Structures are given as C-alpha cells and as structure tokens.
Homo-oligomer: A and B are copies of this chain.
C-alpha cells in the first residue's frame, strides 16, 4: 500500500500495556501509519523510554491529546483507563473512528455503567452508537460502526465459549459458574502492592469475588441471546504468570444436551472464524498454546455431575483479550482481511 493511502492512527494511552501491545501489532500492519502516540504523563518522551522493547520503531514521540493535529488522524485506538476514556473520546472529531479498549462504551445500559464504574457517563449520545466489539459475534455491526467498544479480556474468553451455547439453547441460563484465572498483566502497569513480583510470584488467590467489573458485561451479552436477564457467578483469580487467561465455565445442560452437542455447536459457530478454535476431544486448552497470539482455544468436557458440562476457554489477555481484538475490529471497520497483522503464531515455549 502506498504511503499516502495508509490509515493514520493515533493511540491514546500509549504508556499502558494494552497501548503497548496495540503499537507492537499495529506497527507491523501494512495499512496503518502510527501518526500519534498519546500518553499525558510521559509527553515529550520517546516511546522507547517507557517501552524499551519498542526501541526499533520509528514512531513519533509521546504527546498529550491536545498536541495532536487531529485533522491528520483517521482512527484512534484508545487504551485509557476505564472511566477516563469517554471524556477523551468525546473530544475527538466526528470523522475519527474509534476502537476503544476501555470499558466505557461496553455496557448498553448507562445505569449499569454508573453503578459498576462509579460515575456518570459524559458521552451518552456517542455511547448509543457504539458497537460491542466481540468480533466473531458482531462482525456486521462492527464493519459499519464509528465507535467499537472492545470487550474486556474476561468477557472475551467467557462469551466466545458460552454465547453460541446459550444462543442454541444447549445450556441453561441458570447456575452458570465461571472460575476465571488471569496472568498479572491484566492488572495493568499502575503501581500496586499486590502485583509486585515478590507478592504475586509463587502464589495464587481469588480477587474481586462477586464484584469484578466484567460481570455486567458478561451478563449483558448472555442475557441478550437468552432473551431474559442472566446472572452468573464470576470469580477471577490472579495467577503467577504475565500473559494468559483461562476461564473454566461450569454450566447446566438444557434438555438432553450432552458435552458432544456443545462441542459441535461451538465448532459450527466458529467454522469460518480464523482465530477461534474448538480443540479436539481429549485436548485441553492451555494459555501457553495461545500466548502472544490472537487465538482463542475452547474445549468442552463432560462433568461427573449429571446434567452439567465444563467449558474451558483460553486466550492471551493482551492480544485476543485486548489489542489483538482491537486490531481485528479495525480490519473489519476498514474492509480489510480480519487476520491482517494478526498472523503471528503463539510463542511457545
């Protein structure tokens, strides 16, 4: 693609992990020119000062949003913290498309947003037009959207596994128990004691039991296909690894459905989705097998408890769970092949 036809992208929140991973991937996208990197607290610094692993890139210095000439920007990837993204996105010219990796445009009900994220939404009008960016389930809407709200990492892993099952009526909307496990990078780069190496290493604990902000997002989407309110148990755990997320979902089978039916329904649902893979019977999904890639692996297992099954899904929380899915959505928004710049295979060992 000739340089003058490149799509000019800005990254808001370029000093966070999702920002960095977006830059890592976008820098190798044949249709993207990284035109602005925004990180308020680091304005004036070269990117390599906050992310030395990106030192080989020829990209602009970090700036504040005010310093950007937005007339030269086509699309903004937003990796700002929840609750701050909406105000920044509101300021962008209407012609700039937005791929938001924050939570600010994910919840369709603004009351629910205010309840879980602790504040009024400053851009309700934009909010209404935003499309939920779970790529495999909203491709058409994403292709036409101005603002795409990429799902949280946990909802991505959970919904890819459960949405087709709920939609096809194979599982009950009751009694869904999701035991989720995430690597530490999911907590971001902000300094907190519990994510110090010496605290999180060689250890394991649940957190945010019953109160994790990804709950309403999961319930919203499951409820939409169940066509009734759905309530789930969602219990995340912090695991001593950097990348990776694995959700073990314990579900009640509807009617006479068996694990094999669930596996088939998932395989059918994702037959033409290059990044979602239902693993063969007997294979167990593992975060190692998707690390650094945009893949999601899903396995279905019979339960010892009659009438129940276990669905296991694994992703890289920063790729399919954030920056990778963002780029996948960008590809759809611009009519490009969904896999562009996302072909890297998992990094194992």
Show the binding face of A for B, using Cβ within 8 Å. 17, 20, 24, 27-28, 51-57, 175, 177, 179, 181, 183-185, 189, 191-193, 195-207, 209-210, 215, 231-235, 237, 239-244, 246, 248, 250, 274, 277, 279, 283-293, 295, 301-306, 308, 310, 312, 314, 318, 343-349
Contact = CB atoms under 8 A, between A and B. Distances in A.
A289 to B, nearest CB: 4
Looking at A206, A234, A279, A303, which has the most chain B CB atoms within 10 Å of its CB?
A206
Contact of A301 (B51, B179, B210, B283): B210
A28 B203 contact: no
Contacts of A175: 175, 305
Contact of A202 (B231, B235, B243, B293): B243
Contacts of A239: 181, 204, 239-240
A52 B302 contact: no
Contacts of A56: 274, 277, 295, 345
15 contacts: A17-B198, A20-B349, A24-B346, A24-B347, A52-B279, A177-B177, A179-B250, A184-B196, A184-B197, A189-B349, A204-B287, A205-B285, A239-B240, A242-B349, A347-B347
A170 to B, nearest CB: 18
3 tightest Cβ-Cβ pairs between the two chains A and B: A203-B288, A205-B286, A198-B349
B57 A345 contact: yes
A204 B189 contact: no
Contact of A243 (B195, B289, B349): B349
B202 A27 contact: no
A51 B197 contact: no
Copies in the complex: 4
Given A203-B244, A290-B53, A295-B56, A184 B198 contact: yes
A205 B24 contact: no
Nearest to A219: B304
Contact of A345 (B24, B206, B210): B24
B304 A215 contact: yes
A344 to B, nearest CB: 6
A339 to B, nearest CB: 11
B191 A284 contact: no
A41 to B, nearest CB: 12
B207 A284 contact: yes
Contacts of A205: 246, 284-288, 314
Contacts of A181: 181, 204, 237, 239
Contacts of A308: 233
Nearest to A51: B348
Contact of A201 (B28, B52, B197, B234): B197
Contacts of A215: 304
Nearest to A293: B53
Contacts of A234: 304
Given A55-B277, A189-B193, A196-B189, A305 B206 contact: no
A28 B344 contact: yes
Contacts of A246: 204-206, 237
Contacts of A347: 24, 53, 243, 292, 347
Contacts of A306: 231
A91 B113 CA distance: 53
